[in-house]
Amino acid sequence: MSPSQAGSAALPFAAVDLGASNGRVMLGSVTDGHLTLHEAHRFPNRPVRVNGTLYWDILALHRGVLDGLREAGRAAGGLAGVGIDSWAVDYGLLDASGALLGNPVHYRDERTRGAERRVHEVLSPAELYEATGLQHLPFNTVYQLVAAQGSPQLAAARRLLLIPDLIAYWLTGREGTELTNASTTQLIDPRTRDWSPVVAERLGIDLGLFAPLRRPGDPAGELLPQVLAETGLPGPVPVTAVGSHDTASAVAGIPAQGERFAYIATGTWSLAGMELDAPVFGEDSRRANFTNELGVDGTVRYLRNIMGLWLLQECVREWAAADGPRDLAPLLADAARAEPLRSVVDAEDPEFLAPGGMPERIARACRATGQPVPRDPAETVRCVLDSLALAHRAAVRDAQRLSGREADTVHIVGGGARNELLCQLTADACGLPVVAGPAEAAALGNVLVQARAAGAVRGGLAELRALLRARLPLRRHEPAGDQAAWERAAARIGRGGKD
């Protein structure tokens, strides 16, 4: 522990947690084995479409981070440290002077159309999976970079920084590439936990664009003098690399006991799978579209990306645009009374990736599979939640089958942990008890990695998770209902027999 950390042992850590719809700065403390967390500041994350391209408003996000650090420091009298996590795959490009070359493009933008074909002409999907173990997603960084080849921006770029690393660079002036997030680029070999020269060379991607790799717990610099002045914080304030992919921090923040658990990190996406000691390769794993992303303390997040609460968020946004704001609680209550499993859709279908027109796209998918079309918002919400539960069921069962490890509990963390109907439906579909909470798992994992690096807590993931179990109110949902009904529903969308 450095003198500055020792002198500020009573001060809290700031977890900067950037999500697809909002950002938060959370204050967390670990004192005498007691863990506390509360929100200091929240700000919106509103993408912007310009001339047909969808961008992240990265400067607005940075402004929100600075405002949040100011509020956090004002509330606590200072900070023991800062850690940053965010969504994956997207990046900013810097020129030789360190200036940003335009706003980062949003992963939901359509610029990667055609890039998959170009990549697979050079590296087949099987070869790409054997090299990186990563799930095929059309917006993975490797496809974004191939799509950008020949562009003036990429030609002028000296450095590529993933989103949390870009924010950290602006706060500290230090460049780095945190490993858990780098593992989502499809340029990392999870066996070596280093870059894959095979993929980079075959696709003409310059690995020199990336800053040196950091691991969770590594120092990432200190807040710059101008940042201290802007936020009113007394310095020095260290910045620590955490699991900067928010799912890596969220999995570290799961209050699990032992190894026999599956997890679903819910929010805009549902990331469902298991925590393993080593990656899983092979054609069965590739065909099941499972990914081997890297986690805290040398773990592997063996999981599948599912469209998640994006489906519900987009429906609510569409209804609000037409009829005014909608309160989610009455919609969920009506959905709980709606006929179960009347209609389901494939929550992993790329048809649902883009924004706009979600209720009609869900209706169209129901028609295409010969199912009743939802007649009102309640039935649409029930269709979404039943469909997500089905997708969770398939992913949890596939993860056990492919990894050879059994689960006796499913942990749901993130925003979906607050959705009691979704949690119960997931328990029913999986035939396993679901432990719901914490909703703020990413921020908690972020804080715990910082606290351990500062010497405020010791031990591995088991010890960190014991702290969470001692502190957190958790809800347990026991499975109920007819498993055969879920099997029949899965068969309607072509997902029967995958267990």
Catalytic center residues: 246
Strands (E), 259-417: 261-266, 270-276, 291-294, 300-306, 409-414
Token pair of 59, please? 């400067």
Reference 147, options 182, 188, 106, 180; nearest CA is 106
- 478 forms beta bridges with none
Helix (H, G, I), strand (E, B) or coil at 262: strand
Is residue 308 within 8 A of residue 268, CB to CB? The reply is yes
**C-alpha span between 110 and 119 (Å, rounded):** 16
Query: Any alpha helices (H) in 123-162, and if so which ranges?
Result: 125-132, 141-148, 152-156
Q: Give the total residue count for the chain.
A: 499
**C-alpha span between 412 and 396 (Å, rounded):** 12
C-alpha separations of 409 from 58, 254, 394, 400, 434 in Å: 38, 12, 15, 12, 6
Burial class from Cβ neighbours inside 10 Å (0-12, 13-18, 19+) for residue 389 reads buried
